[in-house]
Structure 1
Amino acid sequence: MGKGDDTRARVLAQGLDIASEWGLESLTIGALADRAGLSKSGLYAHFTSKEDMQCQVLDAAADAFAAEVMLPAIALPRGLPRVEEIQERWMHWVTDLLPGGCPLIAASLAYDDREGPVRDRAVHHIERMVGAVERAATIAVDERHFARDLDTAAYAFEVWAIVMAYHQYSRLLRRPDAADLARRSFASLNARAAG
């Protein structure tokens, strides 16, 4: 990796922190330049516009999610062990790995009614996240850990619903029982999925 790639990676990491702490709208060229210790003109070497910068930060968030949640889960045996690991690591991702929570979830709320490339990028990454859960559930069906007639799309929907609720309960409501409630909800969902 060259110096330019190193700088870009460092800048995206700073952008990810800003987006996590303050939301994607707070991620401006000026704010990122200040945080990264670069000039605004220096940042324009990496981004063509504010929207391009926001999209690249969402890409960085998706890459970090894959590295922290999906790849370690895939290393486990097929089926229920992977599903449970995804659920546990997703909870860790929401509360422990970024200063202000998941920027993809934040973007899903801030851009749900706004058209444009930032919304499109958020949709793309969230669909990939939910799709990965659906594939993991399908593998659990194949491994006979889940019932043959499981609606894997509905299962993935419920996982996303629990993750969203956990995000709100832990970060917004600051409920001390948020993790326990989420784990119990996942256990109940997995028991129902097993038939």
Structure 2
Amino acid sequence: MRTANASKGASTREAILARSYALACVHGLEGLTIGSVADQVGMSKSGVFAHFGSREELQLATLDLGGELFIQSVLVPSLREPRGLPRLRAIFARWAQWVRHEQDGGCLFLAAATEYDDRPGAIRDRLLRLESAWREQLAQAVRLAVDSGELDPETEPAQFAFEMYALALAIHHDAGLTGYEEAAARGTRAFERLIRGYRAAPAS
């Protein structure tokens, strides 16, 4: 019985988080309340509170879920590609697809960065940790492209990752204003120019 109750509790928590994430994509983490999520899942506020002891705990768990979904959608499939430029291109292509968000309202992380960039606290700290981990994943993919001889040995991985990140932000920004297809096409062309700028010189 205890196992069944634990399984039911975990399923309920997952359902709450799924709706919380969907709401946050539209309204931001600041738009999340115990009441709004309870309405979405058809529960009482006390029922949601039993799984998340505070609004901040709900926000943090929602941010963590977003991070997991992002990694599973963007990084994990890309790791199947060969190390070097094929993997970097795969990461960028899936990242560009991730920021499409035509149905769910927007990227949770971009909204959170705007909301909490100047607000110290647990949520900002968690956001920084997730962002830093992603930048390091990008930098590692760049290092592998350097090791494979495809990028110049003088390439600074953190700088390449910064520029790659900037292009993803530009796609997300333009997608909502001028349409996703054009934004993604321009972003992909810009990414290829970025690669050319860092390509290793041909052997003499």
TM-score bracket, normalised by the shorter chain, equals over 0.9
Aligned with residue 147 of structure 2, among 134, 142, 146: 142
How far off is 1:101 after superposition? 2.1
User: Size of the alignment, in residue pairs?
Assistant: 194
How far off is 1:97 after superposition? 8.0
Q: Which runs of 5+ in 1 are unaligned?
A: none
Q: Which runs of 5+ in 2 are unaligned?
A: 1-5
Q: Identity of counterpart residues, as a percentage?
A: 38
- Aligned residue for 1:174? 178
Superposed CA deviations along residues 101-132 of structure 1, whole A, max 9, x for unmatched, are 21011101111011111111111111111111
The answer as to 2:15 corresponding to 1:3 is: no
Aligned with residue 118 of structure 1, among 115, 120, 123: 123
Measured in 1, the distance between the counterparts of 2:62 and 2:82 equals 32
Aligned with residue 26 of structure 1, among 20, 23, 31: 31
How far off is 1:46 after superposition? 1.4
Q: How high is the TM-score relative to the length of structure 1?
A: 0.94
Superposed CA deviations along residues 135-162 of structure 1, whole A, max 9, x for unmatched, are 1101111111211110111000001111
Q: Is the 8 A contact 1:17 1:98 kept in 2?
A: no
Q: Give the letter aligned to residue 87 of structure 2.
A: R
Aligned with residue 80 of structure 1, among 70, 85, 88: 85
Please list, as runs of the form range in 1=range in 2, the aligned pairs for 1:1-195 lying within 5 A after superposition: 2-96=7-101, 99-171=104-176, 173-175=177-179, 177-195=182-200
Q: 1:132 to 1:114 in 2, by over 3 A?
A: same
**RMSD of aligned Cα (Å):** 1.5
Q: How high is the TM-score relative to the length of structure 2?
A: 0.90
Measured in 1, the distance between the counterparts of 2:152 and 2:103 equals 35
Q: Is the 8 A contact 1:93 1:101 kept in 2?
A: no
